[in-house]
Structure 1
Amino acid sequence: MARIVELSTYPIKGCAGTSVPDTVVTPAGLAHDRSFMVVSDLGVFRTQRRDPRLALIRPAIDPEGTRLALRAPGVEPVTVDIDTSGARRAVDLFGAPYRGIDQGDGAAAWLSDVLRAPSRLVRVPPEHHRVTDGRTPGTSGYADSCPLHVVSRATLDLLDRRLAARGAPPVPANRFRANVVVDGWDEAHTEDRTHRVSIGEAELGYAKQAIRCAVILVDQETGTRAGPEPLRTLATYRRASEGGIAFGAKFAVLRPGKVCVGDAVTVTEWGASEL
C-alpha cells in the first residue's frame, strides 16, 4: 500500500523547508506553507533562481503560529512577532500583483544581511484571494502555482539510477522541495496519473505536472549552484509535451484535513499522464 513517508512545509517561499511528522492540509496547502515571501525593496519576490542563498535561511514557526524564528549559518538568529493585521504593501509574484503584510525592519535587516541585497519579509494577508490553474483549480499562498507538490519515492529512485548510469552522483530529494513524498508505488511517475487521491483526512485533485527550473541545481545545504545535474539527465527522458522538464505533480485541495507520515495514500480516480 502506498503511504506518506515525508511531509515538508516551506514557511518562507524559497527558503529551507521543515520536515514534520504531521500537519494540517488547509485549502492553500500544508499549514504555513509559503505563507511568507522575501521581496526586494521594490516588492519583487526573491527566488533561488536568482538568490540561491535563500536556501540557507531556516525558518520555524512556533506551535501557536505567532512567532517566526529565522536562522542561517554564521548569523545570529532573529525572532519575529508575526504581524497579520499591519499595513499592506504591493508585491510582485511572477509579474502578478498581490499584497503582503510587511514583517518589520528587524526581519528586513536580517534578511538583507544574509542575502547581501536589500530585502523585506511579507506575509499573506487574511483577505488574500488567488485562484490557481490546472486540471483542478485551487488556491495557494505565495507558492509558484498550486498548493501541494507531490513526488514518489519510485520517481526519485529512477532518477538516481539514471544519474548513476551517466556517472553522476545521486541528488538529495530536498532539491525538489516537495511537500509530500509517497512510497509504495511500484512505477515511477505514478503521481502523474493520480487525478484524485486521499491522504489522511484530506483529499487532493491533480492540477498539473511540476515543471522544473534552475532551483533544482541549487545545493540546499550550501546555497550555491552545483552544476548541470539533475536537469541534464532529466532532459533525456522527462521533456513535457508543452515544453519544460516535468518531475513530480501539483495538486489542489478538495478537502482539508490532518495528515501524518505513515498515512495511506488512496487513489480514487486515475487518468493518463500528460507527458
Structure 2
Amino acid sequence: MGSIVELTYYPVKGCAGVPVGETLVTPAGLAHDRSFMVVSEEGVHRTQRRDPRLAVIRPGIGADGGRLTLRAPGHGSVDVEVDTVGARRPVDLFGVAYQGIDQGPAAADWLSGVLGAPSRLVRVPPEHERVTDGRTPGTCGYADSGALHVVSRSTLDLLHRKLAERGARPLPMDRFRPNIVVDGWDEPHTEDRAHRMTVGGTELAYAKLALRCAVTMVDQEVGAGAGPEPLRTLAGYRRAAGGGIAFGTKFSILRTGRVSVGDTVDVSLWGESEL
C-alpha cells in the first residue's frame, strides 16, 4: 500500500514548485498548478529547455489565488495583484493556440530582468477549456499535458542504482517536477500500472506515461544545464514503445477533493504498462 510523501504544485509553468502538506485537487490538478506562464513578447511560452533560469524563480500565491509573489536570487521580488478579468491575448504552448490574461508591466519588467529576455506573465483565463489526451482525457492549465504527475520513490531509487553503475551521482526528485510522490510501492514504476486509484478525497485515472525532455538535465537549484543525466541512463531502460523516454505517469481527475501528505494511495484498477 502506497502513501503520499510529497505534494508540490507549480504556480508558474517552468518555475520552482511549492511544497504543501495538503491541498485541493481541482479538475485541472492541484490548486493553482501551472495557472501562470511566462511568454515572449510574441506570446510563445518560455520553458527551461531554452530558459533554464526559470528554475530559480520561486513563486508564492495566496490561498484564494488573488496575489502572486515572485522571488529570485539577486533580483529581489515582485508582487502581482492577479488579474482574472483583463483583456485576453493569444499565447502559444507547443504550437497550440490558447488564451492568457496579461499580468501587467511590473511582472513583465521583473521577469525580463531575471531571464535576460523580454518576457510577459499570463494567467489562464476562467473560461480555459483545454482537453488533454491519453487513455483518460482530462483538463489542465498550462502544464505540458495532464492534470497530475505522479512518481514513486522506488522509481527514483532504481534510477539511482542505474546511475551508480555508470559512476554517476544520484539526482533529486525535483529534476522530474512531480505533483505527487508515493512511497511504499516496492516495485519501481508501479505508477505505470495503477490505472485507477483513490487518494484522500479524490479519484484519479491513468492518462499516459510521462515522456521526459531536456528539463530533467537542468539543476533546479541553480537554473543551469547539468547534463547528460538522467536522460543518458534512462535511455538504456525506459524507452517507450511509441517513442521517447518515460519516467512517471500522468493522471486525470475523476473526482475532486482534498489530498494530504500521509494519505493512502488505494489502487482499484491495475493494468499493463504501456512501456
TM tier relative to shorter chain: over 0.9
Q: Deviation digits for residues 15-74 of structure 1, max 9, x if unmatched?
A: 000110000000000000000000000000000011000001000001232100000001
RMSD across aligned C-alpha pairs, in angstroms? 0.5
* Pair 1:29-2:13 in alignment: no
* TM-score, normalised relative to structure 1: 0.99
* TM-score, normalised relative to structure 2: 0.99
Q: Aligned to 2:55, what secondary structure does the other structure show?
A: helix
* Pair 1:9-2:9 in alignment: yes
Q: Deviation digits for residues 72-123 of structure 1, max 9, x if unmatched?
A: 0011211100011111100000111100000000000000000000000000
Percent identity (aligned):
71
Instruction: Give the paired residue count.
Output: 275
Amino acid at match of 2:71: R
Amino acid at match of 1:51: D
Matches for 1:5-154 after TM superposition, within 5 Å: 5-154=5-154
In structure 1, runs of 5+ residues without a counterpart are: none
Amino acid at match of 2:133: D
Which aligned runs of 4 or more in structure 1 are off by greater than 6 angstroms? none
Residue in 1 aligned with 2:161? 161
Residue in 1 aligned with 2:187? 187
In the alignment, the residues of structure 2 paired with residue 74 and residue 157 of structure 1 have an alpha-carbon distance, to the nearest angstrom, of 35
In the alignment, the residues of structure 2 paired with residue 227 and residue 130 of structure 1 have an alpha-carbon distance, to the nearest angstrom, of 33
In the alignment, the residues of structure 2 paired with residue 212 and residue 272 of structure 1 have an alpha-carbon distance, to the nearest angstrom, of 20
Matches for 1:249-260 after TM superposition, within 5 Å: 249-260=249-260
Amino acid at match of 1:119: S
In the alignment, the residues of structure 2 paired with residue 139 and residue 64 of structure 1 have an alpha-carbon distance, to the nearest angstrom, of 21
Q: Aligned to 1:109, what secondary structure does the other structure show?
A: helix
In structure 2, runs of 5+ residues without a counterpart are: none
In the alignment, the residues of structure 2 paired with residue 134 and residue 144 of structure 1 have an alpha-carbon distance, to the nearest angstrom, of 13
In the alignment, the residues of structure 1 paired with residue 106 and residue 155 of structure 2 have an alpha-carbon distance, to the nearest angstrom, of 41
In the alignment, the residues of structure 1 paired with residue 104 and residue 29 of structure 2 have an alpha-carbon distance, to the nearest angstrom, of 26
Q: Aligned to 2:117, what secondary structure does the other structure show?
A: coil
In the alignment, the residues of structure 2 paired with residue 33 and residue 215 of structure 1 have an alpha-carbon distance, to the nearest angstrom, of 18
Q: Aligned to 2:163, what secondary structure does the other structure show?
A: helix
Q: Aligned to 1:49, what secondary structure does the other structure show?
A: coil
